[in-house]
Chains A and B, each alone.
Chain A
């Protein structure tokens, strides 16, 4: 009878398609840079001295860490490093160090300015760190292309802890999010989703759907989202339901991205992690064939 530790070790040692990590390595930095683009365009206001800074509140719970404003030239330099490292990572140029540098810049700005920090700000350093700790850039991108003529192609399947982490990450987030929703209003207020359609996040699509669809349908959507999130460990843990969970998750994030303006970048980041981690194995293996042994 294998112990829990043995089972975990076996699961971690099981080869997984390297392409899963490459998908995250390519698409996640682009989604994150999309999110950061509005901030990067105003780097001096964001993390420099040109904009408003919340003063040092000496341990106030709303301020995780007081980081003084950077001189404007340094703010612009940091913005440049973020863009360069993110694009280098996506292009597969020195992919692992690029991912590590990108993660460091992301962590810094998340702490430096709480005001412009959202879920993507806090999640992205961890995702990029996972990329940096895995064999990123092995089969796709500039590094792989430069190695192409000199070495063997890397195995398409290998044990990769980063991939296992990225497979668990959305499931953990959904599960916790579902429980938070159930503890909040989602079980007893029938129009939670509807209530979030009317502020400055509203897109033309959100307005059109809110105008056209009957109220009860928003309650149905709400119930579906709650069931999906709360039971995510089941949907993604059981191989039979996993493809359906993937499709539902991608659809849910697509709708979030289309209906809630700036949340589109969070949606794209989550879709990347979902697609990379939970696309059926046979498909990913098939897609890997042109690039790996």
Chain B
């Protein structure tokens, strides 16, 4: 009895892996999400990459503590705050962006996390530790792929400012009114007005 139960479970698992991989919605329609999740192991690299994608963050630095109008965006290196696999796309910041960049609660939580992390002043992140930031913006870099035969350069991380605007795609930023308020010293708690 125990043996056949195990055989049936093993067969169901293998069938689930296969069905999920070939694009069937049957497993996800009958299993809890947490169980279905463990079946998602086989649809590996089915599509061509259209660009080399990297995600970046910037912090809004108020000008001499004055209002936001005179501030500027400066790149905020997220790697000290996401140290796990810091230099490749398995980094957790890259993964948050990959999965949740259009999910507002997650982006708000990320904004709060990065602002608190910078303000704690424990790491060098490209913006001086004693300079508070009033908000963040997140963008993706979509670096064109070379064609075969073209001269290649090693994949490397360059400062955001070295990439042309055409390769950047902004998808989240703290609202200007919020930046102004924070630069003026008004505490606002959460950042639910960001978009």
Closest to B117 in A: A52
Chain B residues engaging chain A, CB cutoff 8 angstroms? 3, 6-7, 10, 13-14, 17-23, 33-34, 36-50, 52-54, 81-85, 87-90, 92-93, 95-96, 99-100, 103, 105-106, 109-110, 113, 143, 145-149, 152, 154-155, 157
Q: Which residues of B contact A192 (CB under 8 A)?
A: 45, 47-48
Cβ B49 vs Cβ A183 within 8 A = no
Q: Which residues of A contact B18 (CB under 8 A)?
A: 172, 175-176
In the assembled complex, 14 residue pairs joining A and B whose CB atoms fall closer than 8 Å, in A order, are: A61-B33, A161-B10, A172-B14, A173-B42, A175-B18, A176-B22, A181-B46, A183-B46, A192-B47, A198-B145, A198-B152, A198-B155, A207-B155, A261-B88
A110 and B14 in contact (CB under 8 A), knowing A161-B7, A207-B154? no
Q: Assign chain A's interface to a size class.
A: 35 or more
> Shortest 4 CB-CB distances between A and B: which pairs?
A176-B21, A215-B148, A184-B46, A64-B37
Closest to A184 in B: B46
A199 within 8 A of B: yes
A115 and B92 in contact (CB under 8 A), knowing A122-B38, A176-B20? yes
Partner of B41, one of A161, A173, A200: A173
Query: Would you give the shortest CB distance from A268 to chain B, in whole angstroms?
Result: 16
A133 within 8 A of B: yes
Partner of B96, one of A41, A54, A107, A161: A54
Q: How far is the CA of A215 from the CA of B99 in the complex (A)?
A: 32
Q: How far is the CA of A51 from the CA of B6 in the complex (A)?
A: 38
- The 0/1 profile, CB within 8 Å of B marked 1, for residues 162-193 of chain A is 00010011001101110111011110010110
Q: How far is the CA of A123 from the CA of B44 in the complex (A)?
A: 13
Cβ B42 vs Cβ A38 within 8 A = no
Cβ B34 vs Cβ A111 within 8 A = yes
Query: Would you give the shortest CB distance from B116 to chain A, in whole angstroms?
Result: 10
Query: Would you give the shortest CB distance from B157 to chain A, in whole angstroms?
Result: 8
Q: How far is the CA of A107 from the CA of B37 in the complex (A)?
A: 11
Partner of B48, one of A39, A62, A122, A195: A195
Partner of A210, one of B20, B50, B54, B152: B152
Closest to B148 in A: A215
Closest to B78 in A: A52
Q: How far is the CA of A41 from the CA of B86 in the complex (A)?
A: 12
Q: Which residues of A contact B40 (CB under 8 A)?
A: 122
Cβ B34 vs Cβ A64 within 8 A = yes
Cβ B38 vs Cβ A110 within 8 A = yes
- The 0/1 profile, CB within 8 Å of B marked 1, for residues 51-65 of chain A is 111110100111111
Partner of A200, one of B39, B89, B106, B147: B89
Cβ A176 vs Cβ B155 within 8 A = no
A125 within 8 A of B: yes
Query: Would you give the shortest CB distance from B52 to chain A, in whole angstroms?
Result: 4
